Structure 1
């Protein structure tokens, strides 16, 4: 595959200052990186901005890193970060954004071309209008399964109803962040994070652009149903105390039903002569109490797990090596 590139010509300064950095998490995307590179070059070279692209290899098991090294060697605008293992997409996005030093804006997008590079000019145009965050909403996905569609709708319903986030349904990580947003993001240190949730929690001046996601051209989706479920649980418990409150509400509700029932059973035995045995009563009552305790413990364990993750204060990610030119050094 061709890897030649002519030196970038000088460009006029952008309205809001600085270059534009693209951040792309990569996990087993070796077969599609050449197509991604060609698409990004075609779009970004048509814009009047200096730009670069940071490809973050999140512990891929294929030849993704070898392809990243080849691309970055042929085109100095492409750089690579290689994680020591798979830390997850949220950390790959975080690492890429933190590595975008001196950028006036950062654009995050996926490597599978389901975030169409062709709409990047629309993101930039909104940024030029004065928006600090330009996010995208996916109108449809060509290869989404029914399970993922139902799960997505359920997730966004819970997030909008039970958290303080303004998270529109089908919003994505494909978004532009102004430099002030990037600087604020650097202050967040939590390990269990939902990247776009943190961005939406910040506030700032924000707008949305809709797009239709095409089917993947290469490979398999990096996010399995299990990973999506874990992300949903982490996101919900990171931004809402509702699960803890629900456990308390459930306990109160069961007590409100159980205590009157207990009184009715006692009165029925005393005055009506109903044949309600003590064993039957205590079996039902203890089962309900055990359910309350297990529910409450399960919810609290999620939050205790988050507390443990933050208290140990491990690095969010570990960069094993780099590719390309970073601050003038190879």
Structure 2
């Protein structure tokens, strides 16, 4: 009954936040305008992330225990959404965004006193303990995951579907481990994202009702993902193994790594926007936006399923890591093939 009330209230909070802030966003100019990279009709309100955060904030204050970790997460999230909203409105420089992300990472690391210190038994030689280097690794991980989810946001429904997939997978991992005290955290995040996804996909049949996530939302999602993964894999109360975390956010991570390498080879900035992401290539290869969304979502769910199965069966972490690296190689080869096919057509 508690879980049902939490889910229902979160959905209502998110729905009402969208209805309230949509006209506000249009009034203040917080909208996404069509351009060479962004091909859509009209000016779309960028309030998806703001509505999700406010729903998470309200539901957390209403239903979750008032812990230091939760307070630090909510403060860090508020800062992340604020920086993202400024970026949506004024198109901040990459350096400013990264500095903001480092400050937020510091708040999470030092405010709670926790970081990624143990990577698990990745090489069948015992646990890989990072020691003091774990703090640096955590900074890198936070920045990578935030920007991975930010970069993958390119077509209707994609960031919403991928984030719900990740949050639901984390919820299942907590459930499998018996850590039901943590179950509400990912469920609140997944439920808060659902109304956004419905509006973003135009399920209400009116173009004027469409909204976008915005950088405020995609960066907030990335921050929430790395927070959940850190909470779930570290400490005495760890619920699942670190290698499993790779599988449940595989597509955003693989897409980011592949495109950063490609931009570096072409002499471009890793953060310079372009139309060479996975979803762009699939559309150039002939898939419609809906087919592209379905294809990526199915693959993401499949990858998460492998991670969940590996965790349930307790498959050796070294094997899971090797399988992940093989999957990335296959992903990179597939991207190269799709890219060439798209150019040929």
Give the TM-score, by structure 2 length: 0.26
Give the TM-score, by structure 1 length: 0.27
| Structure number having the greater helix percentage | 2
Give the structure with higher Rg (CA).
1
